[in-house]
Structure 1
Amino acid sequence: MTFSRVISRRHVLAGALAAPAVLSFARLGHAATTLKISHQFPSSSGDEGDFRDRLVRRFAAEVEKRSNGELKFEIYPGSSLMKTNSQFSALRKGALDFSLYPISYAGGEAPECNIGLMPCLVSSYAQGLAWKTKPVGEEFNAYLEGKGVKIITWVWQAGGAASREKPLVSPEDAKGMKIRGGSREMDLMLQAAGAAVLNLPSNELYVAMQTGACDAGITSSTSLISFRLEELSKNLAAGKGKSYWFMLEPLLMSKAIFEKLPKEQQDLILKVGAEMEPFGLKGAQEDDHKVVEVFQKAGAKIHDLDDAVLEKWKVIARDTAWKDYAAKTPLSAKLLKLAEEVQA
């Protein structure tokens, strides 16, 4: 089956809007492939705005430049191409080319993905980024590729808790609160602390907090800023120093689409993807500090987490989230064990 026939079939199945890898003609008449990147985050402009959108735009521009226009990109921020929770499945099926995606959102159809937001497992950027070259990263890569998805750029983000009224710092604070945690494992830990939990993507947090359906939202520093949660919050437990919330939020590519490309284009995508990782790290770290400034300016009270508080959360996480995850499959147990071997 030729590449053009595959593309034609997907156009019929997915419709013109969502169809990936559209063939066109580059300058000088060379055939070009247009790839679609979808994500849930707000659009950026130049050097301003959500660094995750800026990362995919830098990636796209660099790949297009180095491929002499043979690879082109269309970028769809704000879940404008498809709903947030549909993107992982679309990648697997080859109905979407790329997504910068919070990996734990895939936990419903790929439970092992929830290790990407396991409370208290990762406690620093260096520790999380070290996964890439450690056995845990190799196993996780192999698992994702078996599901039809490739990691192109490793991105980790620390997170904090924005709350409408009372602060959410220690486990004792969670009792009676309605909290969005971001993954099944986070929810298990929060429930054990006495909270009610909500399962929704971070781009739906504003409305949930605005209506009172949610008392506190735990998400990345960047999302706390981009989704303007300072407008609704009186307190912020910041993640700039210490946090029990670190999420793997990589740039992903459909393996089916990747394998249809020539070897030189595959190599280029992987090379540029790796080159984006320092930009992602810098953006995440800068937002860990910027979020404090944004919330302070809006009048919120800032709270930092210390080692004693983190240890309280970790005790609960081990007895709930870690235990539940390890019992799911032999691979889950193996991934958790390998992740614990990566030192902070």
Structure 2
Amino acid sequence: METTRRRVLLGSVATLSMWVAGRMPGLAQAHAADSTTLKISHQFPGGTLTSGDFRDRLCRRFAMEVEKRTNGTLKFQIYPGSSLMKTTAQFSGLRRGALDLSLYPLPYAGGQVRELNIGLMPGLVTSYAQGAAWKNAEIGKALTDLLAAKDVVLVSWIWQAGGVASRVRPLVNPEDAKGMKVRGGSREMDMILKQAGAAVISVPSNELYAAMQTGAMDAAMTSSTSLMSFRLEEVSKFLTTGRDKAYWFMLEPLLMSKSVFDRLSKPQQDAIMQVGAEMEAFGTQAAKADDQSVAAAYTKVGAKVVDLDQAVVAKWQNIARTSAWKDYASRSQDCARFLALAEKVQA
């Protein structure tokens, strides 16, 4: 009798569940999606919504807004400081669907997809406006399509200007680099440094402090934000800023695994892309603010601060055209095409 009663009860529950799913499919789908939590990884120091490295704050703002617009059907966990996955593994993690999202310096993936080195091509982008114009230009479509073919979705276009922190002498003109051990940040940056007579060091941003502290590196080229977030002022005596003129502009987009993106509903996908586009203004404003703040931070500890002028930028560009640009274009037809498309977008 008891067994029969349980069967009747279970059957009634199953029938009710099927009726709800049939009459109220939206409710059933929303309930099923309640537990969807996506992980965002990046290499930068963690913070809060209102303080800390702006790239971490951008991820948190993005997560909060997408959760709100999807009525909580999408939630996020943020993993700063490469605490979830090593920096260099994050791009391949996105491609395999092992990582959901990452705010990732695009040329770090140049070893896997050589065309992506264009994201830090010395002297190619010299202003935020020029970088922002890539998104809706032919080069933007080409990059977006290339990433999609590699199973990655470009969610937010984030550009950052950069400078140089040095512990031995200022690195301003190309001739200053001779004999120095310098981190450029990409294969192409390394090429112009070698052309100028430097020895190049290859490490991710979160390892710069240790390399500078131990003397393994004399100078580091990186974004204004990283120059502060990784506390390089503690191990540097000189700073060349990117606050007025710069030949170092890095594309550090928010990326998402395409396989993960494709599993989401259309409203969820739309929310991610809409919020991602909205984060671009915040990213630009924050990056520009850091270009100013970095000079103040280094001046405060007694470092000598130098700004670039157009004549110095032109010197680095001339070296870049005959070395890095030429080499990049020779690597494949797609590289040559990407460079040509990027050159169409004027400063």
* TM-score, normalised with respect to structure 2: 0.90
Partner Cα distance (1:30, 1:323) in 2: 49
Asked if the contact 1:27–1:69 (Cα under 8 Å) also holds between the matched residues in 2, the reply is no
1:205 aligns with one of 203, 208, 214: 208
* Secondary structure in structure 2 of the residue aligned to 1:273: helix
Partner Cα distance (1:307, 1:26) in 2: 57
1:342 aligns with one of 321, 342, 345: 345
Amino acid at match of 2:304: K
Asked if the contact 2:180–2:218 (Cα under 8 Å) also holds between the matched residues in 1, the reply is yes
1:248 aligns with 251
* Secondary structure in structure 2 of the residue aligned to 1:133: coil
Larger mean Cα displacement after TM superposition, 42-51 or 239-248: 42-51
Partner Cα distance (1:160, 1:217) in 2: 8
1:196 aligns with one of 192, 195, 199: 199
1:37 aligns with one of 36, 40, 59: 40
Q: CA deviation at 1:46?
A: 3.4
- Counterparts of residues 215-234 of structure 1 (less than 5 Å): 215-234=218-237
Question: CA 1:98–1:167 in 2, change beyond 3 Å: closer, same or farther?
Answer: same
Q: CA deviation at 1:26?
A: 11
* Secondary structure in structure 2 of the residue aligned to 1:68: coil
2:152 aligns with one of 139, 149, 154: 149
Partner Cα distance (1:66, 1:32) in 2: 16
Larger Rg: 2
Asked if the contact 2:182–2:199 (Cα under 8 Å) also holds between the matched residues in 1, the reply is yes
Q: CA deviation at 1:326?
A: 0.4
Q: Does 1:301 align with 2:307?
A: no
1:104 aligns with one of 91, 96, 107: 107
CA deviation profile, 1:189-239 (whole Å, cap 9, x unmatched): 000000000111011000000000000000000000000000011100000
Q: Does 1:59 align with 2:62?
A: yes
Asked if the contact 1:26–1:32 (Cα under 8 Å) also holds between the matched residues in 2, the reply is no
Q: Does 1:90 align with 2:82?
A: no
2:3 aligns with none
1:160 aligns with 163
Partner Cα distance (1:27, 1:112) in 2: 40
1:238 aligns with 241
How many residue pairs get matched?
A: 320
1:134 aligns with 137
CA deviation profile, 1:165-185 (whole Å, cap 9, x unmatched): 200000000000000000000
Question: CA 1:149–1:230 in 2, change beyond 3 Å: closer, same or farther?
Answer: same
Q: Does 1:262 align with 2:265?
A: yes
CA RMSD of aligned residues (A): 1.4
Percentage of matched positions with identical amino acids: 63
CA deviation profile, 1:215-264 (whole Å, cap 9, x unmatched): 00000000000000000111000000001100000000001110111111
Amino acid at match of 1:272: V
Amino acid at match of 1:107: G
Extract unaligned runs of 5+ from structure 1.
1-24
* TM-score, normalised with respect to structure 1: 0.91
Larger mean Cα displacement after TM superposition, 226-235 or 304-313: 304-313
2:187 aligns with 184
Extract unaligned runs of 5+ from structure 2.
1-27
Q: Does 1:68 align with 2:71?
A: yes
Q: CA deviation at 1:47?
A: 1.3
Partner Cα distance (1:267, 1:27) in 2: 16
Q: CA deviation at 1:311?
A: 1.1
CA deviation profile, 1:137-178 (whole Å, cap 9, x unmatched): 001110111111111000000000000020000000000000
Partner Cα distance (1:314, 1:289) in 2: 23
1:19 aligns with none
* Secondary structure in structure 2 of the residue aligned to 1:150: strand
Asked if the contact 1:36–1:75 (Cα under 8 Å) also holds between the matched residues in 2, the reply is yes
CA deviation profile, 1:281-306 (whole Å, cap 9, x unmatched): 01100000000000000110011111
